[in-house]
Amino acid sequence: TSELSPVPSTRLFATPSSLLLYPAAVFCLIYVLLKAIQLYHKRQQLLKAFESFPGPPSHWLYGHSSQVGKDIFVFMVCQLLTLYLSSLLNFTDPKGLTIYKFLIPWIGKGLLILHGPKWFQHRRLLTPGFHYDVLKPYVSLMAESTKVMLDKWERLITVDKSVELFEHVSLMTLDSIMKCAFSCHSNCQTDRDSDYYIKAVYDLTYLVFHRFRFFPFHNDFIYRISSQGRRFQEACRLAHQHTDKVIKERKTSLQDQQELEKIQKKKFLDFLDILLCAKDENGAGLSDEDLRAEVDTFMFEGHDTTASGVSWLLYCMALHPEHQQRCREEIKEILGDRETIQWDDLGKMTYSTMCIKESLRLYPPVPGVSRLLSKPITFHDGRTVPEGLFSLFLLKGPILPSAAYMPLPLKSHFGPECSSCQ
């Protein structure tokens, strides 16, 4: 007789684990399908809503994401903004967290990220720190920092090669914000070991922008295990090392009775002193996390934007020596035989101010802001943007007109008169 080989029992009878596995797999499949349908519907709705707005051709999957930053894309957005700016400026919706959330591990939830009641509370707390009476003495501190930078340049230009200015300008603006807002005289422009914060900021701004453009990195887990994610964490650590040091030093100096009495006599406090002395109605100060977030926010916003603005202004001036000459003459006349600028001089620099504004128009240090629409917004011509994320780009870059897409060429040349009439 032939022996029947026994069929393995696993093939005939399901084990308890496989009994659970099938429904779980079916559940996951249904969940993924529902999510995909939901996403598809949302996308269709958005595409329909944006159909009525003019724009360059978009990719069926990526939309316009690959075009962000390209001249043509920027041009179209600028045109839309010209039409709809007045309506957009009125809305006070929360920040669109898509890009802002990538900044949180670095600058925390300070004013730039916050919205709602907490934003309002911090804003009310910090506004006195930017009162004219506080700002006036800052002019001489800034002039001092600028002189250090110019002295460095005097030495550098004896060498017959070009000099990269941006890092010097960044160190100068960092020096200024540290002195003005953080009462910290750091010598960061001349001290060789002090530029690690600036270098970390270069890394961080590049990495945040790259993360925004590369969709797989929007996922926290993927980003954390990627080499870029690890570089980001290291740069955050360095940036925090710098801000922690500044907070610690100021806390220590405020323990000194004399220093404390000095600030108690002041009508308006400097930024960091406001944060350190703030008390709510129950006498509680800011939490360490909130304090750090505001310091990180202002340390970054307070130097990087201005460094970029100053550097682009110098670039524009170099390209247009005729305007540079007029600015020089204007300032020379205001200064007379003095060496440094004073507060009252600022209002007299009409032509130079026009040049600064024009340079900011062409090369804005903050090219875009984003808001999350909590309800649909309808413009004066009846076109509507639905609720959901809406990114608003303020950029008005130097765009070369191209006949295909640019029926209304945007004024792209440097000319101060252009800004003055806006």
Q: How far apart are CA 340 and CA 141, in angstroms?
A: 11
* Segment contacting ligand HEM by CB under 6 A, of 160-168, 294-302, 321-329, 331-339: 294-302
Q: How far apart are CA 69 and CA 75, in angstroms?
A: 10
Q: At its nearest, how many Å lie between ligand HEM and the CB of residue 369?
A: 4
Distance, first Cα to last Cα, the chain? 103
The single residue among 217, 302, 317, 355 that binds ligand HEM, judged by CB under 6 A, is 302
When asked if residue 170 is in the footprint of ligand HEM (CB under 6 A), the reply is no
When asked if residue 305 is in the footprint of ligand HEM (CB under 6 A), the reply is yes
DSSP symbol at 53: S
Residues across the chain: 422
Q: At its nearest, how many Å lie between ligand HEM and the CB of residue 301?
A: 4
Q: How far apart are CA 319 and CA 36, in angstroms?
A: 52
* Segment contacting ligand HEM by CB under 6 A, of 62-70, 73-81, 365-373, 378-386: 365-373
Q: How far apart are CA 346 and CA 353, in angstroms?
A: 9
Residues in a beta bridge with 373: 388
The single residue among 111, 149, 165, 316 that binds ligand HEM, judged by CB under 6 A, is 111
Q: How far is CA 271 from CA 59, 264, 298, in A?
A: 47, 14, 9
When asked if residue 67 is in the footprint of ligand HEM (CB under 6 A), the reply is no
* Segment contacting ligand HEM by CB under 6 A, of 227-235, 259-267, 277-285, 296-304: 296-304
Q: Is 61 helix (H, G, I), strand (E, B) or coil?
A: coil
When asked if residue 112 is in the footprint of ligand HEM (CB under 6 A), the reply is yes
- Report the 10 Å Cβ neighbour count for 189: 20
Q: At its nearest, how many Å lie between ligand HEM and the CB of residue 304?
A: 9
When asked if residue 367 is in the footprint of ligand HEM (CB under 6 A), the reply is no
When asked if residue 309 is in the footprint of ligand HEM (CB under 6 A), the reply is yes
C-beta of 78 vs 111, nearer to ligand HEM:
111
CA count, 13 A, side-chain hemisphere, 326: 14
- What tokens were used for 273? 């002193």
C-beta of 226 vs 305, nearer to ligand HEM:
305
Q: At its nearest, how many Å lie between ligand HEM and the CB of residue 228?
A: 23
CA count, 13 A, side-chain hemisphere, 13: 5
Return residues touching ligand HEM (CB under 6 A).
Answer: 95, 111-112, 123, 181, 297-298, 301-302, 305-306, 309, 365-366, 369
